[in-house]
C-alpha cells in the first residue's frame, strides 16, 4: 500500500491512512506500506538546498530531500502501534533498497527480502518503508527522482510477490481524460499496462511512468484509488495485463501535454547520418525529443521538425548552434513555436480496429483545429496543435469516441 503526499499531509490524514492499513491487516494480510513525504515537504527541502548552494553536491541533496519520507514513516508506524498493530518503520538503507549511484535520479537494482521476512516471521504485521529513497553501492543515501515512491511501491510488490499494489492518491482512479477539462470523463474500472504507460508518458499524472514500466515487466497488479473515498473492494482502477480485460473501448483515453514546443531546422542537408548529427547533440544536452517529422527533400535539402518540452527550448537551441559552429550540421534557420500542445488518443483496441486516425482527424477538422505534426504507434495517435485549442480538442475527441460510455 502506497500513500502519496496528500494522503499523509497531516496527522489526521496519517490516521485515516493507518485505518485503511488496519482493515487489510484484519483480513489476514501482512502489509508493506510505502509513504511519501507530507504534501509540500519535498519542495520545501529542495528550496532549502537551492538556497544554500547553487552548485550543490548531489549526494548531500539526496541526504536532505529524502528526510521527508523518514518523518512520515516514523509517524505512520507510531500511529499503527497506537492501534495495537505490530509495525515498525524502515528507511531505504535499512531494507536495503539497493540502487545505482545516480544521485537524485537513481534506479532500483535489487531489494533483498531477508531483513523484512525475518521481522514478519517474528510477528511484525506492517513494515512502513520510506519511499523515494535507497542506498548506493558506496553506502550513500540516494533518491529515485520525483514521484519515485510509486516506483518504490511497485518494486516492493515485485520483490515480495505481493497479491497486489494499492496506490493511494488524491484522485479516485484513472479517468478517460482529465475531469477538469471534460465533465463527461469516466472512471475506468480496468486499464491495460500498455495503455497506462502511454497515458502516463503523455501527461496523465496519476502514476509515474517508471512505476508502470516496472509493474508491466513483473506483472504487478496495480490499483489506483483515493484515500479520501470510503474503502471498498471495487474502488479505484485496476491496472493489469491485457488478458484480464474482457472487453474494452477501441480508445481508452485522451491525454494532453500543455507545455510542448515545436522546433524546425530549416534547410538541412539530406544525407545519410544527418538525423544522428542532429539528435545526438540534443540527447547529450538532455533534450527530451518526442515527435519527429522530416519533410520531402528538394535539391538535397530538407526541413527537420521535432517537439520537446518548452523548458528545454533554450537547451535545444544552444546544442544546435554549437553543432553548427563545429561544422557537424549546417542549417539555414531554427524556428521555435512555443504556443503548441500535444493531444493523444490511446487504446489497445486500435491494434484490431481500422479508421481511428481518420475518425480523430475528422473530429478535429469539424472544430476547425489545424494539425501541425502527427505521430502514431500501435496503440496511440498524437497530434501537435495550437495551444489555445487544446481543451476544445480534448473535449471533441472524448465526445467523438464516446468515451463516457463503457464498452
Per-residue pLDDT of 344-384, as tens digits, reads 999 998 888 889 999 999 999 999 999 999 999 889 999 99
Q: How many domains would you assign to the chain?
A: 2
Name every residue whose Cβ is closer than 8 Å to that of residue 44 and which is 6 or more positions away in sequence: none
Do 229 and 260 lie in a common domain? no
| Mean pLDDT score of the chain | 93
Contact predicate 103/142, CB 8 Å: yes
Q: What is the pLDDT of residue 204?
A: 66
Question: Is the residue at 215 inside a domain?
Answer: yes
326 is annotated as contributing to ligand binding: no
Question: Is the residue at 143 inside a domain?
Answer: yes
Domain boundary among 186, 218, 243: 243
Count the Cβ atoms, other than its own, within 10 Å of residue 358. 9
Q: What is the pLDDT of residue 345?
A: 95
2 is annotated as contributing to ligand binding: yes
Do 260 and 238 lie in a common domain? no
299 is annotated as contributing to ligand binding: no
176 is annotated as contributing to ligand binding: no
Question: Is the residue at 407 inside a domain?
Answer: no
Residues 76-101: what's their mean pLDDT? 97
Q: Which three cell numbers stand for residue 386?
A: 495550437
Do 218 and 259 lie in a common domain? no
User: For 276-320, how does the pLDDT look when each residue is reduced to its tens digit (9 = 90+)?
Assistant: 999 999 999 989 998 999 888 788 899 999 999 999 999 999 999
Question: Is the residue at 406 inside a domain?
Answer: no
Do 189 and 290 lie in a common domain? no
Question: Is the residue at 405 inside a domain?
Answer: no
Q: What is the pLDDT of residue 299?
A: 83
Q: What is the pLDDT of residue 202?
A: 77
174 is annotated as contributing to ligand binding: no
Specify the higher pLDDT residue, 248 or 100.
100
Do 282 and 217 lie in a common domain? no
Question: Is the residue at 307 inside a domain?
Answer: yes
User: For 108-144, how does the pLDDT look when each residue is reduced to its tens digit (9 = 90+)?
Assistant: 999 999 999 999 999 999 999 999 999 999 999 999 9
Do 279 and 214 lie in a common domain? no
Residue 313 CA to residue 146 CA, distance in Å, equals 22
4 is annotated as contributing to ligand binding: yes
Backbone angles phi, psi at 156, to 5 degrees: -65, -40
Specify the higher pLDDT residue, 80 or 328.
80
Do 141 and 259 lie in a common domain? no
Q: Which residue has the cell 540516494?
A: 142
Question: Is the residue at 333 inside a domain?
Answer: yes
User: For 166-205, how does the pLDDT look when each residue is reduced to its tens digit (9 = 90+)?
Assistant: 999 888 889 999 888 999 999 999 999 999 998 887 766 7
Do 228 and 348 lie in a common domain? no
Chain centroid to CA 370: 29
Question: Is the residue at 142 inside a domain?
Answer: yes
Closest CA to 231 of 32, 379, 17, 5: 17
Do 229 and 262 lie in a common domain? no
Residue 200 CA to residue 27 CA, distance in Å, equals 32
Residues 33-59: what's their mean pLDDT? 94
Domain boundary among 243, 272, 291: 243
Domain boundary among 223, 243, 263: 243
Residues 69-91: what's their mean pLDDT? 98
CATH number at residue 299: 3.30.2130.10
User: For 202-253, how does the pLDDT look when each residue is reduced to its tens digit (9 = 90+)?
Assistant: 766 778 888 999 999 999 999 999 888 887 777 899 999 988 887 778 899 9
Residues 252-263: what's their mean pLDDT? 93
Do 301 and 224 lie in a common domain? no
170 is annotated as contributing to ligand binding: yes
CATH number at residue 74: 3.40.1160.10
Which pLDDT band holds residue 45 (cuts at 50, 70, 90)? very high
Do 40 and 184 lie in a common domain? yes
29 is annotated as contributing to ligand binding: no
Q: Containing domain of residue 260, as a range?
A: 254-400
Do 162 and 62 lie in a common domain? yes
97 is annotated as contributing to ligand binding: no
180 is annotated as contributing to ligand binding: yes
Amino acid at each position: 500500500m502506497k500513500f502519496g503526499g496528500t494522503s499523509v499531509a497531516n496527522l489526521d490524514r496519517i490516521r485515516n491512512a493507518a485505518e485503511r492499513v488496519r482493515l487489510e491487516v484484519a483480513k489476514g494480510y501482512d502489509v508493506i506500506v510505502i509513504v511519501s513525504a507530507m504534501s509540500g515537504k519535498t519542495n520545501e527541502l529542495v528550496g532549502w538546498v537551492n538556497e544554500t548552494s547553487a552548485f550543490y553536491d548531489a549526494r548531500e541533496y539526496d541526504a536532505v530531500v529524502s528526510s521527508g519520507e523518514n518523518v512520515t514513516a516514523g509517524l505512520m508506524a507510531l500511529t499503527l502501534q497506537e492501534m495495537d498493530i505490530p509495525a515498525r518503520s524502515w528507511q531505504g538503507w535499512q531494507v536495503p533498497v539497493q540502487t545505482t549511484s545516480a544521485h537524485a535520479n537513481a534506479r532500483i537494482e535489487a531489494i533483498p527480502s531477508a531483513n523484512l521476512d525475518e521481522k514478519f516471521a517474528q510477528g511484525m504485521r506492517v513494515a512502513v518503508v520510506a519511499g523515494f529513497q535507497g542506498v548506493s553501492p558506496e553506502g550513500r543515501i540516494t533518491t529515485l527522482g520525483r514521484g519515485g515512491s510509486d516506483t518504490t511501491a511497485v518494486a516492493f510488490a515485485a520483490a515480495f510477490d505481493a497479491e497486489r499494489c494499492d496506490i493511494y492518491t488524491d484522485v479516485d482512479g484513472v479517468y478517460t481524460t482529465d475531469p477538469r477539462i471534460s465533465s463527461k470523463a469516466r472512471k475506468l474500472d480496468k486499464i491495460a499496462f500498455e495503455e497506462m504507460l502511454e497515458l502516463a508518458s503523455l501527461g496523465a499524472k496519476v502514476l509515474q511512468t517508471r512505476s508502470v514500466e516496472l509493474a508491466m515487466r513483473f506483472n504487478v497488479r496495480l490499483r489506483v484509488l483515493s484515500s479520501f473515498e470510503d474503502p471498498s473492494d471495487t474502488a479505484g482502477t485496476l491496472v493489469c495485463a491485457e488478458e484480464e480485460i474482457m472487453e474494452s473501448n477501441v480508445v481508452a483515453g485522451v491525454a494532453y501535454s500543455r507545455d510542448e514546443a515545436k522546433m524546425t531546422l530549416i534547410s538541412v542537408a539530406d544525407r545519410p547520418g544527418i538525423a544522428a548529427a542532429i539528435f545526438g547533440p540534443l540527447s547529450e544536452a538532455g533534450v527530451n525529443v518526442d515527435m519527429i517529422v522530416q519533410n520531402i527533400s528538394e535539391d538535397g535539402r530538407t526541413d527537420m521538425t521535432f517537439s520537446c518540452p518548452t523548458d528545454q527550448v533554450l537547451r535545444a537551441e544552444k546544442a544546435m548552434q554549437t553543432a553548427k559552429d563545429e561544422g557537424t550540421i549546417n542549417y539555414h534557420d531554427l524556428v521555435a513555436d512555443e504556443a503548441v500542445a500535444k493531444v493523444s488518443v490511446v487504446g489497445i483496441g486500435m491494434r484490431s480496429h481500422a479508421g481511428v486516425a481518420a475518425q480523430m482527424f475528422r473530429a478535429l477538422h469539424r472544430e476547425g483545429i489545424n494539425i501541425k505534426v502527427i505521430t502514431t504507434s500501435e496503440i496511440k495517435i498524437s497530434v501537435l496543435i495550437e495551444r489555445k485549442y487544446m481543451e476544445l480538442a480534448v473535449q471533441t475527441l472524448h465526445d467523438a469516441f464516446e468515451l463516457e460510455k463503457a464498452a
